[in-house]
């Protein structure tokens, strides 16, 4: 089963990461590619 990156919609084949997205007060886990995961981390820190 293929996953899609939540941010860039890229297909994730082997390696991907889960980021917790806060959406309307709920924490939802979304699959992220490596690049978007790092951007997400930076966004969470800032």
The reply to whether 17 sits near Zn ion by the rule CB under 5 A is no
> Closest approach of Cβ 25 to Zn ion, in Å?
24
**Of 16, 19, 30, 36, which lies in the binding site for Zn ion, with binding defined by CB under 5 A?**
36
25-31's contacts with Cβ under 8 Å and 24+ in sequence apart are 30/6, 31/3, 31/4, 31/5, 31/6
Q: Residue 14 has what DSSP assignment?
A: S
User: Residue 15 or residue 22: which is nearer to Zn ion going by CB?
Assistant: 15
Applying CB under 5 A, which residues contact Zn ion? 5, 7-8, 10, 33, 36
């Amino acid at each position: 089963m293929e996953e899609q990156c939540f941010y860039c919609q890229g297909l994730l084949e082997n390696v991907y990461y889960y980021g917790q997205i806060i959406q309307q007060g709920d924490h939802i886990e979304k699959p992220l590619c490596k690049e978007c995961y790092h951007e997400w981390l930076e966004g969470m820190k800032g």
